[in-house]
Amino acid sequence: MSNSFFYKLHTTIAGGAIIISFFSILSRLLGLIRDRLLASTFGAGDTLDVYYAAFRLPDLIFNTLVLGALSAAFIPVFLEYWHKNKEESWEIASSILNILLIVLFILGGLFFIFAPFLISHLVAPGFGLEKQVMTVRLTRIMLISIFFFTASNLAGAILNSFKKFLAYSIAPVMYNLGIIFGIIFLVPLLGEIGLAFGVVLGSFLHLLVQIPSLLKTGFSWKPVFNFKHKGVRKVGLLMLPRTFALAVNQVNRLVITNIASTLTVGSIAVYNLADNLQSFPIGIFAIPLAIACFPYLSESAARNEKEKFAVHFSVTLRRVIFLIVPTSLFIFFLRAQIVRLVLGAGHFSWRDTILTLKTLGYFSLSLFAQALIPLLARAFYALQDTKTPVFIGFLSVGFNLIFALCFTRTLGTPGLALAFSLASIINFLLLYIFLRKKLKWFDEKKIIFSFFKILIISLIAVFFLQIAKTIMGHLVNMRTFSGVFCQFIVAGLVGLVVYLFLAILLKCEEIEVLRLFLGKKFNFLKR
């Protein structure tokens, strides 16, 4: 590969997205291995219900205060001060880290003490006493991970500010390796609590792998708590609306877990396993592009370069659409094969398989919306508007809860996924409408034209995928892993080849993101 390829890889949105995507794919593949190990070892039963329920309280603290809120508020302010005074920007970073750790220590301590009450009344009231006790034990251990994740996410935000994505991208890989280590080695030694210690190990590795790159940026931790600094206060003020939105979202997840705990045994496990499967393409396509685009959006907004902002946004959005629309359709029509291949082993029963593929089917209906929400939200954050996404998020969560209570009466666990999908579509539509009013122009005609062109060729590709799937179903033994695998691979490849052929034929600009990833040997993709 030429030097120009590596230059683009480290200096463009698409290049940054490719670095993130590569390791995100690796991380997601490890996540599939992790889920297969969990499913085959425990099945969709009591142990996995407990395991996933135990994440709720640590996630409530960390995801609310740190994940998303920190990076969305920190990066624009950090970059603003970096161009004025580098020493001052490092002081802001240390102050934010120290303040967050103190707050988390207080909240983590309270959650540790009151975990039995919170689990039995808020998280999983439908659990029996034995399941509640085990959930408390795992929750208390997992609370340790929030401290490692907080330091790690601040490190990642700093690295993203400098458009250094490598170590940041490797971190999730290390996290999954830690959990897999826990399943394979710690569970046989410690029992179910080995799962919780695997999570803690993964969070530690998530931080450890980013430290060398962080130190190279010039960061040096200082024991400062400068609450009065304008930059620190600005980050705090920008975090507040986003923190509220994330808190609402986490409360929503708590309520979903609460509802699932009252359904059949294994409902929490099925919902989370299906959610992990449907989030795979979002993690490898949508999130990397949104993350890589965010510093460029923030920079354009800080310099008041509205046209450049709109161009960055439009190009990235169309690339997400190009990747996610066919993927969502492929997942829907191959959902049975996906569930059987990834989870259908060991203690994961046929009943678990059927329930999971139904849930995955409802999730896939909103993949396009879920994939575009991160980019739309970051566009608002780059403009230092965190209130609008909060307001819209609050509304969508309300819809999700109402839909969930309605649909679970007739559909059970899959009803939770249907409710989530409808709420996600509402969230996407509202974000798009409000951003359009705010920007007034972001090349909307080109976006709409690209969307319908991509949708049409995706539907044609799915038509051929279905033909290949049917033919292979008659040629192989569908009761074996190898038979299902062959059907999945052949049908998927036929759909993919048809889609790429039509994209090249119709000269879709968005295919550039694949050409850059594959390198100069595939310059024909540009034609």
The mean per-residue pLDDT over the stretch 234-240 comes to 81
Placement of tokens 């962080």 in the chain: 214
Count CA within 13 A, CB hemisphere, residue 434.
Answer: 21
- pLDDT tens per residue across span 243-276: 776 777 788 888 899 999 989 889 999 999 999 9
253 or 518: whose pLDDT is higher? 253
Please report, in angstroms and rounded to a whole number, the separation of the first and last CA atoms in the chain. 20
The mean per-residue pLDDT over the stretch 127-152 comes to 95
- How confident is the model at residue 79, as a pLDDT? 83
Distance between CA atoms of residues 285 and 317, nearest Å: 11
Percent of the chain with pLDDT over 90: 53
**CA-based Rg of the chain, rounded to a whole angstrom?**
23
Whether 495 and 330 have beta carbons less than 8 Å apart is answered as yes
- How confident is the model at residue 10, as a pLDDT? 54
Distance between CA atoms of residues 293 and 31, nearest Å: 25
Distance between CA atoms of residues 120 and 137, nearest Å: 13
Distance between CA atoms of residues 181 and 157, nearest Å: 27
Token couple for 306: 């509205």
Could you tell me the CA-to-CA distances from 490 to 81, 337, 485, 496, 501 in Å, in that order?
A: 53, 12, 9, 10, 16
Distance between CA atoms of residues 288 and 157, nearest Å: 14
- How confident is the model at residue 456, as a pLDDT? 96
Percent of the chain with pLDDT over 70: 92
| DSSP alpha helix (H) spans, 114-165 | 115-118, 129-142, 145-161
- How confident is the model at residue 9, as a pLDDT? 54
449 or 65: whose pLDDT is higher? 449
DSSP class of residue 241?
Answer: H
Assign 526 a pLDDT band (cuts: 50, 70, 90). very low
Q: Looking at the predicted structure, is the pLDDT value of residue 427 above 90?
A: yes
- How confident is the model at residue 510, as a pLDDT? 74
- How confident is the model at residue 522, as a pLDDT? 40
Q: 3-state secondary structure string, 176-212?
A: HHHHHHHHHHHHHHHCCHHHHHHHHHHHHHHHHCCHH
Q: In sequence order, which residues have a C-beta less than 8 Å from that of residue 67 and are 6 or more positions away?
A: 149, 153, 246
Distance between CA atoms of residues 462 and 486, nearest Å: 17
Least confident interval from 12-16, 127-131, 137-141, 357-361: 12-16
Distance between CA atoms of residues 417 and 415, nearest Å: 5
- How confident is the model at residue 34, as a pLDDT? 96
The mean per-residue pLDDT over the stretch 99-117 comes to 94
- How confident is the model at residue 42, as a pLDDT? 94
Task: Write phi, then psi, for 54 (nearest 5 degrees).
Answer: -70, -20
Q: In sequence order, which residues have a C-beta less than 8 Å from that of residue 221 and are 6 or more positions away?
A: 94, 97
- pLDDT tens per residue across span 374-408: 899 888 888 878 788 888 888 998 899 899 999 99
The mean per-residue pLDDT over the stretch 489-508 comes to 94
Q: Looking at the predicted structure, is the pLDDT value of residue 6 above 70?
A: no
Assign 512 a pLDDT band (cuts: 50, 70, 90). confident
Assign 69 a pLDDT band (cuts: 50, 70, 90). low
Could you tell me the CA-to-CA distances from 506 to 453, 459, 501, 518 in Å, in that order?
A: 9, 15, 9, 20
Whether 490 and 355 have beta carbons less than 8 Å apart is answered as no
> What does pLDDT average to over the chain?
87
Distance between CA atoms of residues 32 and 30, nearest Å: 5
Q: Looking at the predicted structure, is the pLDDT value of residue 68 above 60?
A: no
Distance between CA atoms of residues 316 and 221, nearest Å: 35
Could you tell me the CA-to-CA distances from 136 to 30, 54, 70, 201, 486 in Å, in that order?
A: 27, 7, 28, 19, 43
Distance between CA atoms of residues 134 and 100, nearest Å: 29
Least confident interval from 76-90, 326-340, 444-458: 76-90
Least confident interval from 67-81, 148-162, 184-198: 67-81
Distance between CA atoms of residues 64 and 486, nearest Å: 43
DSSP class of residue 286?
Answer: I
Token couple for 177: 């390796």
Q: Looking at the predicted structure, is the pLDDT value of residue 514 above 80?
A: no
